């Protein structure tokens, strides 16, 4: 580690002044000569002090340095005692002081700016709207009577018709004549003949499978509707045991009796 050439105090590389005696370390001075302005050790060959820039040449400097023609050099013991340097160059101290002043100014500006907020604007009061002139209305027309309720939705109607036709299918498969006739209206034309022909057909054939479809549903009024019903049948001849398949399509008119749909009439339709 480098040392000060005058007081042998260790110093760091690149350090400009000795922290103990204040000597300039980049170009070490010789002898015990001091600046008359700041008492920093200087070299007789310097023209200006490295610390305070005081002139070291001329009559005033020569008298202080003891190099003039008429002045005798003072004895070494008569030299004033050297006050150890503080270890901080004056330029660095000036930078720190300037930075501190700048920080204080910024804090003052921020404080005054934060406290001087403009007052909130007064709420805007809108003038009341001018009253609209009275409008003379024409005498109201008599209310039109409400239209009659629309027929039942097709989906609901189809579900109700399918429910009754399912009873008719179960009656055919089980050969239950009472259940079969309960699906027909009391006003069905030739109701007794329908009963007789059905019993006669059951004597000859057995139904092995029976399904139906309901299409083209049309609601006439809340108590009357028309639909196309197609039956798909698998039968077995009771005498010959012969199996056969067939289908029949009917245009069926339904009427509501005691809250339930009944077959009022039917007409076969060619497929």
Q: Which residues contact 257 (CB under 8 A, 6 or more apart)?
A: 185, 186
Assign domain 154-269 to a CATH class: alpha beta
Q: What pLDDT, on the 0 to 100 scale, is given for residue 111?
A: 74
Instruction: Determine the average pLDDT of the residues in 243-252.
Output: 94
What whole-number distance in Å separates Cα of residue 19 and Cα of residue 13?
A: 13
Q: Residue ranges per domain, the chain? A: 1-68+84-89, 154-269
Q: What pLDDT, on the 0 to 100 scale, is given for residue 88?
A: 63
- Looking at the predicted structure, is the pLDDT value of residue 263 above 90? yes
pLDDT digits 0-9 by tens, 137-158: 545 555 555 555 445 477 899 9
pLDDT digits 0-9 by tens, 200-247: 999 999 999 999 999 999 999 999 999 999 999 999 999 999 999 999
Confidence of residue 133 (pLDDT cuts 50, 70, 90): very low
What whole-number distance in Å separates Cα of residue 205 and Cα of residue 259?
A: 34
Confidence of residue 89 (pLDDT cuts 50, 70, 90): low
What whole-number distance in Å separates Cα of residue 180 and Cα of residue 173?
A: 10
* Residue bearing the bigger pLDDT, 15 or 119: 15
Q: Is 254 exposed, middle or buried (0-12, 13-18, 19+ CB in 10 A)?
A: buried
């Amino acid at each position: 580690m480098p040392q000060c050439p005058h007081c042998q105090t260790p110093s760091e590389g690149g350090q400009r002044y000795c922290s103990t005696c204040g000597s300039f370390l980049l170009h070490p001075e010789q002898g015990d000569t001091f600046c008359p302005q700041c008492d920093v050790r200087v070299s007789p060959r310097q023209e200006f002090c490295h610390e305070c820039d005081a002139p070291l040449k001329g009559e005033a400097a020569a008298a202080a340095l003891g190099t003039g023609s008429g002045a005798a050099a003072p004895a070494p013991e008569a030299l004033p005692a050297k006050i150890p340097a503080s270890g901080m160059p004056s330029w660095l101290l000036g930078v720190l002081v300037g930075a501190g002043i700048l920080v204080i100014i910024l804090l003052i500006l921020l404080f005054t700016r934060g406290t001087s907020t403009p007052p909130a604007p007064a709420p805007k009061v809108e003038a009341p709207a001018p009253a609209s002139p009275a409008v003379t209305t024409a005498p109201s027309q008599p209310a039109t009577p409400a239209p009659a309720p629309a027929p039942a939705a097709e989906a609901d109607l189809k579900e109700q018709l399918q429910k009754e036709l399912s009873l008719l299918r179960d009656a055919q498969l089980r050969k239950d004549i009472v259940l079969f006739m309960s699906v027909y209206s009391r006003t069905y034309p030739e109701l007794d003949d329908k009963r007789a022909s059905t019993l006669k057909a059951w004597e000859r054939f057995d139904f092995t499978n029976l399904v139906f479809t309901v299409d083209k549903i049309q609601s006439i009024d809340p108590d009357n509707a028309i639909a196309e019903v197609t039956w798909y049948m698998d039968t077995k001849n009771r005498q010959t045991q012969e199996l056969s398949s067939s289908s029949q399509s009917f245009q069926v008119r339904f009427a509501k009796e005691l809250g339930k749909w009944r077959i009022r009439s039917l007409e076969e339709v060619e497929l």
